[in-house]
Structure 1
Amino acid sequence: MIIALNDNQEYVKAADAIKNQQFVCPGCKEKVILKSGDIKQKHFAHYAKSTCETFSENETTQHLAGKLQLAIYLQHFGDIKIEAVIPEINQRPDLLMQRGHRQIAIEYQCSPISQKKLDQRNAGYKSQNIHVIWILGNDYYVKNMTQTTILKFLMQGNLTFYLPNVEKFIHRTNFKKYDFERVSYIEKYSHQLFETVTVDDKLQINIQKQIYKLQNLLIQKRIDEKIVRYLYQRQRLLLNAPLWIHQGWHFGLSIPNWHWRMLSLLLIEYIGVGNVVHQDAFLTKLENYVLGDKEFKKQQSMSLLKELVQQKYIVQKEQYVLVKHVPLWYESIQEKLGKVRK
């Protein structure tokens, strides 16, 4: 840790501490020792056999350096405390900012953390009416992050990194996941934590490639047999489905985009032309296949609902959905590819 209490119960940064003074841990109040060396930055450490559960001793140089740099930067936005203990919840954010009557916890996450532990930390801050901002370190930045990991830290569609070696923030937003491709996003380097990134909503999907990729999966029998069987019983073939199912881009799904879109069209057919269903019932069906929290699930499902309206498959009337018409299927894949090549 990089902060401790001195004999006068004042917070002292390790960088400013004097070797022959006495220091205690702000969390457990046990004595700590000031350490410094040529490799690792000055820091405080508990003595052997310490039972402290609030402070960790395995911080990397990157984490220590990043935390100090963030503290210096954020002091322009409010009063900053480093490693301040919140006794009501026994938590210690990397930084705690007081901005007017509002408290903001800044967590600089450089190592892996489980979803359970992350949820517990967020719940603790929420119980104290403390807003939390998660900032990721270099190890997360250089990895090819999975959708699940991204969703852990995604805030209002934005993912933020801080690289202490270059003293810059990196903002990623506009996450999209085209079938058969890696997650895509817009990335911007900045000296600012609170940055607005321009969003590009232009779709760049190679429909023909999507069809051929899906065809290969069918040949390899790597498609969910349930949906293949369901369509076959209704005298339909998956590859003859409307082109719209291949235009998916939604990020954070537990199934491929084409599958999610297919299910939405089958749901429309099940409701039937001229029939009405409550919007929430429709959205609940879609949300079953979206990862993340409730807000994200609804956001993505509402986005797909909007597309269905744009395609004129459905009409929204207040809190209800009216099925206007069902999409036509192609007679053959040759006919379908012919439409793509025009």
Structure 2
Amino acid sequence: MTANNELFILSASHTREKLKQLRRTHQFFCPQCKEELQLRIGEIVVPHFAHKKDSNCPQLFSDGESKEHLIGKQQLYCFFENKGLTVQLEPFIKNLSQRPDLLVTTKNEQYAIEFQCSNIPIEVVQARTKGYLNASIVPIWLLKTPNFKQQKPTRIQLVQISPFRQQFITRHPQHGSTLLTYNPTTAKFIYFSHLLFIHGYRFIAKVQQLPIAHQYFPFLHLKEPTKEEFTHYWRFHLHIRQRFLRQRFYLSRKGVQDLLLKGCYGARMRLDQLPLFIGLPVRNAQYIDVYIAEWQATLLFFLQDCQISILQVDDEVIAIFILNNPDYFQDERGKDAILHYILLLKKLGVRSIHSSTKEAIILQLLHSEFLAKCYEN
């Protein structure tokens, strides 16, 4: 706030020379504690306000923020302002005791924009989100784009999304799963959309950049992958699957104690030559602790040993399988992954591990399932 009790917003439109002049002629005060602030204008760090040393402000903000966070907030503030929307930078919402990076007001909604550049406890994220929702404010968490070693030219990519970032994946009934990030260095939104879970931190995603000048609000959703693009999904999947099977075959240290290899031996099959319907991506696969090809092969070996056809699988059979493989299942939602897998096998006409199905038929089914948003996770 200025001495005239007017709100002053630092933005990229202010040159350093202009800010130095303002610093000589104006005083600035914290909107919360009313203490006088320092306007810091260095040659490296982004110009910003800071409390003086040993400040007693109960709601310190902007102090100690990274360069990316400061620049990103300024760019996003200008973005909303240019859209003709009412936007406030770091307003203190008294009844929530929360201060979003930006508060955007439209005709029908209020949005709290949190531009998150560092990891924070997920409990903090959940508490802030709950506070906004209780106040009828829509929370939007926008992560800083992770730093990749090199930019890949293809849209369909294998990406790693940390457990922290996975918490911010949004799910839309028509547009699937998306992680939206923002890169203040390039002033571009980066979409990781139509996420297909593989294992651990790995996903196959459609990755696209959108300059901030071309963005809309509410933020755009990307078009679903074309049939050609989905073929790239399938090729990535096959590459990962084959590498897993080969490494397990040649590098397993358990020998005959390896249940996967033991099952292959009993079925008189080579591990790296399992049929393509073993290892199919299915929804909720993230709730099973081993790679999809391993638990699906183990399931079919189990059915073969018990002389149970795919058509005979019911809740009781699945419960026994889960009971026999407790290390695989740490979450009851893993059962849904098995049910979905059995459904896919039935649609493919698979009756046992020795059935045969053409790759083109598998790809066609997976594409239709994918477009039906069956792989939301």
- Fold shared per TM-score above 0.5: yes
- Change in CA separation of 1:224 and 1:129 when aligned onto 2, cut-off 3 Å: farther
2:78 alignment partner AA? I
Q: CA–CA distance in 1 between the matches of 2:162 and 2:282?
A: 13
Inter-partner Cα distance in structure 1 for 2:10 and 2:346: 63
- Does 2:202 match 1:192? no
Give 2:44's match in structure 1, choosing from 32, 39, 48. Answer: 39
Letter in structure 2 aligned against 1:163: N
Per the TM alignment, residue 163 of structure 1 is displaced from its structure 2 partner at its CA by 2.5
Quote the offset at 1:249 in angstroms.
6.9
64-73 vs 26-35, greater mean Cα deviation: 26-35
Q: 2:185 aligns with which of 165, 173, 183?
A: 165
Match of 2:245 in 1: 214
CA contact under 8 A between 1:313 and 1:327: conserved in structure 2? no
- Distance in 2, matches of 1:66 and 1:125, equals 21
Secondary structure at the counterpart of residue 104 of structure 2: strand
Conserved in 2, the CA contact under 8 Å of 1:180 and 1:213? Answer: no
1:247 lines up with 2:280 in the alignment: yes
Unaligned stretches of 5+ in structure 1?
315-323, 331-335
CA distance in 2, matches of 1:313, 1:267: 20
Q: Which residue of structure 2 aligns with residue 228 of structure 1? A: 259
Task: Indicate if the aligned counterparts of 1:54 and 1:92 stay in contact, CA closer than 8 A.
Answer: no
Q: Which residue of structure 2 aligns with residue 117 of structure 1?
A: 124
CA separation in 2, counterparts of 1:226 and 1:6? 74
**How far is the alpha carbon of 1:72 from its aligned partner?**
1.6
The aligned counterpart of 2:65 is 59
Alignment RMSD: 4.6
Q: Which amino acid aligns with 1:171?
A: Y
Change (3 A) 1:179 1:276: closer
CA contact 1:141–1:161 (8 Å) conserved in 2: no
**TM-score, with length taken from structure 2:** 0.64
Distance 1:238 1:186 in 2: 33
Letter in structure 2 aligned against 1:217: R
Secondary structure class of the residue paired with 1:160: strand
1:13 paired to 2:33: no
Q: Does 1:24 pair with 2:39?
A: no
Asked if 2 retains the 8 angstrom alpha-carbon contact of 1:94 and 1:107, the reply is: yes
TM-score (norm 1): 0.70
8 A Cα contact 2:100 2:113, kept in partner: yes
Match of 1:133 in 2: 140
- Aligned partners of 2:301 and 2:353 also within 8 Å: no
> Could you say what secondary structure the match of 1:117 adopts?
helix
Task: Say whether 1:258 aligns with 2:254.
Answer: no
- Which deviates more, 244-253 or 56-65? 244-253
1:48 aligns with 2:53: yes
Q: Secondary structure at the match of 1:204?
A: helix
- Aligned length in residues: 311
Alignment CA distance shift 1:264-1:10 (3 Å): farther
Greater CA drift, 199-208 or 160-169? 199-208
Distance 1:242-1:166 versus aligned 2 partners, 3 A rule: closer
| Match for residue 72 of structure 1 among 52, 73, 78 | 78
Residues 168-191 of structure 1: CA distance to partner in whole angstroms, max 9, x if unpaired?
222111223446995332111222
Counterpart amino acid of 1:66?
A: G
Q: Distance in 2 between matches of 1:6 and 1:224?
A: 74
Q: 1:197 Cα shift? A: 1.7
Distance 2:43 2:259 in 1: 63
Report matched runs for 1:137-156 at 5 Å.
137-138=144-145, 140-142=146-148, 145-156=160-171
Structure 1 position 145, deviation (Å): 4.2
Q: Is the 8 A contact 2:204 2:236 kept in 1?
A: no
1:319 aligns to what? Answer: none
CA distance in 2, matches of 1:224, 1:195: 51
Q: C-alpha distance in 2, partners of 1:30/1:226?
A: 69
Structure 2 stretches of 5 or more lacking a match? 150-158, 172-176, 360-377
SS in 1 for 2:78: helix
Correspondence for 2:344 among 284, 307, 310: 310
In the superposition, relative to structure 1, how do residues 129 and 170 fare at CA in structure 2: closer, same or farther (>3 Å)?
Answer: same
The superposition leaves residues 103-124 of structure 1 with CA deviations (integer Å, 9 ceiling, x where unpaired) of 1111112223332332232222
Classify the secondary structure of the residue corresponding to 1:44. strand
Q: Output one character per residue of 1:36-93: Cα deviation in whole Å (capped at 9) or x when no partner.
A: 2322332110111224444141223332222111112123163110111122232211
